[in-house]
Amino acid sequence: MINISNISISFDDRVIIEDISFSIKKGDKIAIIGQSGVGKSVLLKSIIGLLNPDKGEIFIDEQNINKISFRKLQNLRSKFGMVFQFGALFDSMTVEENIGLALQKLTNCDKLEISDKITVSLKEVNMEGTEGKMPSELSGGMKKRVGIARAIALNPKYMFYDEPTTGLDPIMTDSINRLINNFHKKGEVTSIVVTHEMKTVRDVSERVLMLHDGKIQFNGSTEDLFSSRDPIVMAFLNGDSTYEG
Amino acid sequence: MREIILYPVYSVISLFEHIGKYCDLMIKTLRSFTTWHLYLGLLPEHMIKLGVSTIPIVIVTGLFSGMVTSVQTAYQLESGFIPDSYVGGIVGVTVLMELSPMITALVMTGRVGASIAAEIGTMRVSEQIDALETLSFDPISFLIMPRIISGAIMFPIMIVIADLFGILGGYYAATISLGITPYDYIYGLRDWFVPWDAIFGIIKAFSFGIAITSIACYFGFYTSGGAAGVGKSTTQTVVASCITVVILDYLLAAILL
């Protein structure tokens, strides 16, 4: 369970997120949407403790992540899987080392077990046979899939996806969306997807949170989003740049 | 006009901000010592990157700094009243105490400092450091600590190599091109040699190693603004490290000599 209570975040006197609250229940599939620069990724990073809010509190499994020690936060993060916008694979490591790095540190598995887990994770994302490749040898979509494999290898309870389909072709987008759904079902995880791709919103979310001007403009089911009469929501869904809400 | 007047004020404020953030990062690095044992395995890789791969450059700079010292010393002593053995003595003392540590440190700033800043900076802007954190790694222990320890170990070794080749370079220039006999050069070298001079050079190297690697880690770690930000961090690293090396050089001389 994730509980966000009255958080505000600003950078250099520019308010990005202003006094927002919401909660995410176990097993939820939630999409956070909004225009570019509205603070979706900032919100996601603050949920996992990479950014501290100026005000408010974030509770994950009843632990206030802004007040717990670094060691406790590290333990809590072992329940997280994060897929970054551009994969964030470690440049100096092969695909295998990228996935195996956290397995070596966070699990008691021996080399053989780690190797098995790497193979299984790569198979899940249809990337078998790329163990020895360097990130520079992979395309954008492949990097994202390896990023997903790295995250799911640790069997997280919470999966966070930051723009998982941005910049990908429609087929690759569909493939990533399927992966998100498959892992959500298999892993019994809580999935939070930051995106501005409407196809991804339809395919992977059951609930949507729309940010606008630092506040929550919409918080409801995916169905309700697409039938919403709110002019700001409609303008966003229809890509109407002339509307100044 | 107002901007021109205020520029020095902003620069001073920015300098103190950097010093504060740098000290904060170093305190965090020291505090993370409880997890250092998890990342000590990374040391050999960094020691190779920082040290072993830099040996050829250190040899070349050491060799030529010894040679030029020899030539210039001989030029200054050309009156004929001063014995030739002084060339060996002056080359030895100058190389051990000042030239090797200083020139090697400046070369290492460009070679090692810039490379560390660019590497960590790229990791920052491409979210690799965020990825490390989400995978429950302590980025300070993982990225900064091994590099600083490697610098502290490898810089003195580099200086010893530079000392050796500096003295050899001086010998070569003195005997081959200046006509000083090998006996005179070696006699002067041995006559003027004080072990503390060599130890002083190694203490300097140790301090420069920590300073250069930690400054590079600092600028890399706090990089922002994409590729341009990485370039800026790299430049700042080289400038700040060169200035720090010169200041440290004076302070160590004033304190230890």
Q: How do strand A80-83 and strand A158-162 relate by DSSP bridges?
A: parallel
Residue A172 is predicted with a pLDDT of 83
Residue A141 is predicted with a pLDDT of 85
Residue A14: strand pairing partners: A11
> Residue B106: which of B26, B23, B204 has the closest Cα?
B204
In terms of phi and psi (left: phi > 0; alpha: psi -120 to 50; beta: otherwise), the region of A193 is: beta
In order of B109, B192, B201, B219, B241, the CA distances from B159 in angstroms are 14, 19, 8, 25, 17
Is A244 contained in some domain?
Answer: no
List b or e across A79-118, with b for residues whose CB sees 16 or more CB atoms inside 10 angstroms: bbbbbbbbbbbbeeebbbbbbbbbbeebeeeeeeebbebb
Is A245 contained in some domain?
Answer: no
pLDDT at A209 over 70: yes
Q: What is the pLDDT of residues B111-156, one digit of tens each?
A: 999 999 999 999 999 999 999 988 888 888 889 999 999 999 999 9
Q: Which chain A residues contact residue B133 at CB under 8 A?
A: 49-50, 77
Q: Which chain B residues contact residue A90 at CB under 8 A?
A: 123, 128, 131-132
Preferred mutation among B37, B46, B135 to probe A, highest tally of A CBs within 10 A:
B135
Chain B: residue whose CA lies nearest to A101:
B135
In order of A137, A152, A154, B128, B224, the CA distances from A93 in angstroms are 12, 18, 18, 12, 23
Q: What is the pLDDT of residues A168-185, one digit of tens each?
A: 888 888 888 888 888 888
Structure tokens belonging to residue B78 = 């050309």
Cα distance from B130 to chain A (closest Cα, Å)? 7
Is A243 contained in some domain?
Answer: no
Q: What is the pLDDT of residues B224-256, one digit of tens each?
A: 988 999 999 999 999 999 999 999 999 999 998
Is A151 contained in some domain?
Answer: yes
Give the pLDDT band of residue A244 (cuts 50, 70, 90).
low
Start-to-end CA distance of chain B, whole Å, equals 46
CA distance B143 to A156: 25
Considering the entire predicted model, what is its pTM? 0.86
* For chain A, percent of residues with pLDDT exceeding 70: 98
DSSP class per residue in A219-243: EEEHHHHHT---HHHHHHHHT-TT-
Q: Could you say which of A50, A78, A84 has the minimum Cβ distance to residue B136?
A: A78
* For chain A, percent of residues with pLDDT exceeding 90: 29
In terms of phi and psi (left: phi > 0; alpha: psi -120 to 50; beta: otherwise), the region of A243 is: beta
Backbone angles phi, psi at B87, to 5 degrees: -60, -50
pLDDT at B80 over 80: no
Residue B59 is predicted with a pLDDT of 94
How far is C-alpha A221 from the chain's CA centre? Answer: 18
How far is C-alpha A104 from the chain's CA centre? Answer: 23
Structure tokens belonging to residue B257 = 């000599």
pLDDT at B61 over 90: yes
Dihedral over alpha carbons A20, A25, A26, A27 (to 10 degrees)? -100
Residue A243 is predicted with a pLDDT of 62
Cβ neighbours of residue B157 closer than 8 Å, sequence gap 6 or more: B51
Is A152 contained in some domain?
Answer: yes
A24: domain CATH number is 3.40.50.300
CA distance A97 to A220: 40
List b or e across A168-200, with b for residues whose CB sees 16 or more CB atoms inside 10 angstroms: beeebbebbbebbeebbeebebbbbbbbbbbeb
Q: Could you say which of B126, B130, B136 has the minimum Cβ distance to residue A50?
A: B130
Q: Could you say which of A82, A85, A91 has the minimum Cβ distance to residue B134?
A: A82
- Write down the ipTM of this complex: 0.87
pLDDT at B48 over 60: yes
A43, A17 contact by CB (below 8 A): yes
Backbone angles phi, psi at A163, to 5 degrees: 45, 60
Residue B257 is predicted with a pLDDT of 81
Q: What is the pLDDT of residues B143-194, one digit of tens each?
A: 999 999 999 999 999 999 999 999 999 999 988 887 888 898 899 889 899 8
The number of beta carbons lying within 10 Å of the beta carbon of residue B85 is 20
The total number of structural domains in chain A stands at 1
Dihedral over alpha carbons A93, A96, A98, A99 (to 10 degrees)? -170
CA atoms within 13 Å, Cβ hemisphere of A88 = 25
Contact A84 B135 (CB under 8 A): no
Query: What is the count of residue pairs from A and B with beta carbons less than 8 Å apart?
Result: 55
Full residue range of the structural domain in which residue A50 is found: 2-238
CA distance B250 to B235: 23
3 state SS of A196 = coil
Is A156 contained in some domain?
Answer: yes
Task: Specify burial of residue B211 (Cβ count, 10 A radius: 0-12, 13-18, 19+).
Answer: buried
Structure tokens belonging to residue B232 = 């800026």
Q: Could you say which of B131, B136, B138 has the minimum Cβ distance to residue A88?
A: B131
Contact B127 A74 (CB under 8 A): no
Residue A245 is predicted with a pLDDT of 53
B214, B115 contact by CB (below 8 A): no
> Residue A83: which of B38, B55, B163, B134 has the closest Cα?
B134
Q: Could you tell me the strand order of the sheet in which A80-83 lies?
A: A80-83, A158-162, A190-194, A29-33, A207-212, A215-221
Full residue range of the structural domain in which residue B88 is found: 2-256
Q: Which chain A residues contact residue B136 at CB under 8 A?
A: 74-75, 77-78, 102, 105-106
